[in-house]
Amino acid sequence: MTQYGTWVSYGGTADIVLAAVLAGAAAGVVYAGSRLPLPVPLRRPGRTASVFLLVAWILSIAAFLTCFVLYALHAHREHLGQAPPADPITPVTVVCFGIVCLAIALLHNERGWRIALGGAVIGGLAATMIFEFPFDLIVMGRIYPPIPPDPAAYRALFFGPLILVELTTLALLTLSPVARLRRATFWCFAAMLAVFAVWSLIGFGYPSAPAPFTLNVVSKILAFLTALSMFLPDRSMRSTPELAPRAWTNVM
């Protein structure tokens, strides 16, 4: 196991177990995508539920930022502060985010700027969390260095509100009247999990070497394609354009 980076890589039989779990999850997603009656629109919340969702999203971000500051301050007091390793992935994330936002906006430009802009922002944010949510579940128990006196408690302090941010961000997809679950959505997400499984076989290590870097990039691209597939226009959307503005009045 290597401790380079911000988490300890998997080793021994743990990497095989993780790969098997991820491969099984990918197979389950493929099966669901082949059996469900798709495409299907996401259920739209009412006005009150929409406001509640937005408030919960904002509060979860505030809670995460607060807990992050507490986590960082305690790590500094314990003299665990260290220069972060090189981060080669953030530029990939930024480029993918920009491309997906632009693509969604262009795909729905004819439906009005509110639909296009709202879908673009929500789609880009959701795409990031489609990758981050399973990724965080994988690495949260192996964050390095551990924070004394209770590493598990400080991991929970960091990841608890972060996972809440991820879940509420994904829930924002229900606010977009143009979001649909499609078979391509399931195929892309299953492919991302399959890449995670391959990454696990080599320890799911920090992307400092060519192999984990490549697998990280490929899985992140697949996460953004998963989100983009949900915003592809279809015939029913083109035939009933007047329904979209009403859906957005729940939150505008």
Which pLDDT band holds residue 94 (cuts at 50, 70, 90)?
very high
- Predicted pLDDT at 241: 45
What angle, 0 to 180 degrees and rounded to 10, lies between the N-to-C axes of helices 183-201 and 14-35?
170
Q: Which amino acid is at 156?
A: A
Contacts (Cβ under 8 Å, ≥6 apart) of 53: 45, 168, 171, 172, 174, 175
| Position with higher pLDDT, 125 vs 244 | 125
Q: How many residues does the structure list for the chain?
A: 252
Q: Can you tell me the mean pLDDT for 172-176?
A: 95
CB hemisphere CA count around 156 (13 angstroms) = 4
**Domain range list for the chain:** 29-248
d(C-alpha 133, C-alpha 171), whole Å = 13
- Predicted pLDDT at 87: 79
Q: What is the CA radius of gyration of the chain?
A: 20
Look up residue 181 and give its DSSP letter.
E
For Cα atoms 21, 208, 159, give the angle at the middle one, nearest 5 degrees.
Answer: 55
- Here the contacts of 95-102 (C-beta below 8 Å, separation 24 or greater) are 96/127, 96/220, 96/221, 96/224, 97/124, 97/127, 97/128, 97/224, 98/124, 99/224, 100/124, 100/127, 100/224, 100/227, 100/228
Q: Which tens digit of pLDDT belongs to each residue from 148-168?
A: 888 899 899 999 999 999 999
Q: Is pLDDT of 243 > 50?
A: no
Structure-token pair, residue 169: 């961000």
- Predicted pLDDT at 233: 86
Range of lowest pLDDT (84-98, 206-220, 221-235): 84-98
Q: Is pLDDT of 238 > 60?
A: no
Range of lowest pLDDT (33-42, 43-52, 94-103, 147-156): 147-156
Q: Which of 130-139, 141-150, 204-213, 240-249 has the highest mean pLDDT?
A: 130-139
- Predicted pLDDT at 110: 87
**Complete DSSP assignment for 37-73:** ---EEPPPP-HHHHHHHHHHHHHHHHHHHHHHHHHHH
Longest dimension (CA), the chain: 62
d(C-alpha 221, C-alpha 168), whole Å = 22
CA distances for 5 relative to 88, 138, 144, 216, 244, angstroms? 12, 15, 8, 14, 45
d(C-alpha 113, C-alpha 82), whole Å = 45
Q: Can you tell me the mean pLDDT for 100-121?
A: 92
Q: Can you tell me the mean pLDDT for 157-184?
A: 95
Look up residue 11 and give its DSSP letter.
-
- Predicted pLDDT at 237: 47
